[in-house]
Amino acid sequence: MPSVMTPKVSVIGAGNVGAEAARGLAARQLADVVLLDIVEGVPQGKALDMLQAGPIVGYDSLVTGSNDYKDIAGSDIVIVTAGLARKPGMSRDDLLKKNAQIISSVAQNIKQHAPNSIILTVTNPLDTMTYLAWKASGFVPEKVVGMAPLLDLARMAAFIAIELNVPLTSVSAMVLGTHGDLMVPVPSQTKVSGKPITELLPQAKIDAIVERTKNGGAEIVAHLKTGSAYYAPAAAAVRMAEAILKDKKELIPSSVLAQGQYGLNDLYIGLPAKLGKGGAEQIVEIELTKAEEAALKRSAEAIKANNQKCVK
């Protein structure tokens, strides 16, 4: 069994995203994992299944399921996936009021049982839910971070790779702003094997990829009919957790609290951030075109409107 020095990550919500994130953490041997859900038996059954995969896949991570928040005590990171998922025809914003109450309750429980952890939110609408988790937990803003821009840029990178018939890993994309219809793909900072995308594709193709990226989640929902994306969202959460646990200081676009950067204040929004043991340790300002700056401001206004509906 793992030593007592093994990091601990708790995942709140044992649905598709939460379970896949737990599996990813275990398979990469990043931490011992607690999978928590309000539904009795579900986290226990999934955790036991993951544990039994260890001898086959070759990992030693301990995975346990629970319905009790006391079991998250001592967590280095708490990944929050709890909440309702989108259904066909439902926008991320439709989820706002339903998930706000859930996230506030979860954050208060994290504050009580894992006060020294870093909160990593995945629940939608992502930026507002991260803002609410920050408010409800009372944590310093660096220790509350949201997963979304990494997922969005991965979608953009995948679409570019398909268009150019190049390896997925050769594309370095950038997406900022809200995780929603007003997200801000940044072609000016997007490259393929070091070459700017603007030199490789005509503007019309770039515009089409930008639009497909903005609707990337809805496209998957439309295919699935009864669910939403979970492999890529979970992979993004695991990647961010790894950067924090290993103190990588890796630049990963994340939903972070803007405090003057990019001319924005007092809202969580997708911006480039260095992730390390302190959480989102630094927000990095990159050069944007005038159009991208304007789009980022529109994105911020949409987030603020959502925040105001939830925080009285």
CA R_g for the chain: 19
| pLDDT above 70: residue 237 | yes
Specify the amino acid at residue 104.
S
Highest mean pLDDT among 81-85, 163-167, 224-228: 163-167
| pLDDT above 50: residue 15 | yes
| pLDDT above 90: residue 135 | yes
Q: Do domains 8-146 and 149-310 have the same CATH topology?
A: no
Supply the pLDDT for residue 92: 61
CB-based contacts of 111, cutoff 8 Å, min separation 6: 136, 137, 138, 139
Output the CA angle 242-243-247, nearest 5 degrees.
115
pLDDT band at 1 (very low <50, low <70, confident <90, very high): very low
Mean of pLDDT values over 136-161: 97
pLDDT one-digit tens code per residue, 80-102? 999 986 667 767 667 788 899 99
Architecture of domain 8-146: 3-Layer(aba) Sandwich (3.40)
| pLDDT above 80: residue 297 | yes
pLDDT one-digit tens code per residue, 100-123? 999 999 999 999 999 999 999 999
Q: Which of 179, 191, 239, 274 is catalytic?
A: 179
C-alpha to C-alpha distance for 105 and 33, rounded to whole angstroms:
21
Mean of pLDDT values over 176-190: 93
Supply the pLDDT for residue 93: 66
Given a contact cutoff of 8 angstroms between Cβ atoms, the answer to whether 311 and 132 are in contact is yes
| pLDDT above 50: residue 23 | yes
**Residue 223: active-site member:** no
Domain limits, the chain: 8-146, 149-310
| pLDDT above 80: residue 127 | yes
Mean of pLDDT values over 233-245: 98
Supply the pLDDT for residue 3: 45
Q: Which run of H or E residues covers position 40? A: none
Mean of pLDDT values over 271-283: 98
CATH for the 149-310 domain, from 3.40.50.300, 1.10.260.40, 3.90.110.10, 3.40.50.1820: 3.90.110.10
Prediction pTM value: 0.95
Q: Where are the beta strands (DSSP E) in 122-197?
A: 144-146, 171-172, 175-176, 184-185, 191-192, 195-196
